[in-house]
Amino acid sequence: MQRSVLATFTLVVAWVVIAVAADLQDDTRRAYESYSAEVTQAFLERVRSGTATSRRPSTETMPRDGEIVTSPAHQDGIIDVPGGLVHHWRSSTFIDGASLRDALEVSYAYNDYQSIYKPILSSKLLSQEGDVYRILMRIKESGGGLSAVVDVRARVQYFYPDNRSAYSISTSEEIREIRNAGTSTEKSLSPGHDSGYLWRAATFTHFVARDRGVLIESEALGLSRQFPPLLSWVMEPVARRVGRSSVDRSLQEFIQAVKARTSTQAKGR
């Protein structure tokens, strides 16, 4: 009981600390941009050389239908950079009976994201120029006693190396934290001058058609403020659990949407 009370008290204190304004510093931004550039280059090398899928050369080593395999992409999923933390996770799944087109059509459905992903409160396609989409999403994330609402404006570009695969790179162009979201006192904070819950984000996704379905491999990046030194011992495990569960949940919701589309199409034939 005392341990539970201590943990609860610590999380309350942590939330108070996190709620205090934090500024994104230039060295933090540069460190993230450098790390993100390395991740982007590594991702492109894998998908263009085919090594992303060659890690699973047989059906025995691929995820089973609907199975989600998630792991830290580097270290334990949380990487220290000057003045901040980079969150980096990798996940994969296999959707039996689905086609590459099924997966892509769900991915393109930006105006419907709020009905696919529970954390997304609203989503809108702002523009499309060829294979480049610009979108705006309002997202509410919570876990471990901490929560935040953010408006994320992002650029997503799709690439189609052949008729059996595609990949996309999504990068945030602006993230604004929203205080008192949905109320008469709602306030949009200046980018980089907020609680530091999320300053930058990127997602890399590879779609590959297989004999019986489609394989999805994804990486997620995020940048946040550092944990207060005296509270990092309790906040890091919480953040790690939240990061992993967020990635798992997003992929599970994507699977459900793809399977629903596949089922609807099958009934319409």
- Burial tier of 4 (Cβ tally within 10 Å: 0-12, 13-18, 19+): exposed
Length of the chain counted residue by residue:
269
The pLDDT value given to residue 15: 44
Measured on CA atoms in the order 47, 48, 49, 50, is the torsion positive or negative?
positive
The pLDDT value given to residue 237: 66
CATH of domain 2-268: 3.30.530.20
Determine which of 49-63, 127-141, 231-245, 249-263 has the lowest per-residue pLDDT on average.
49-63
* 114 vs 14 pLDDT, higher one: 114
pLDDT at residue 185 is higher than 80: yes
Determine which of 33-42, 88-97, 151-160, 260-269 has the lowest per-residue pLDDT on average.
260-269
pTM for the model: 0.86
Q: What is the pLDDT of residues 213-243, one digit of tens each?
A: 999 999 999 999 887 666 665 566 667 777 7
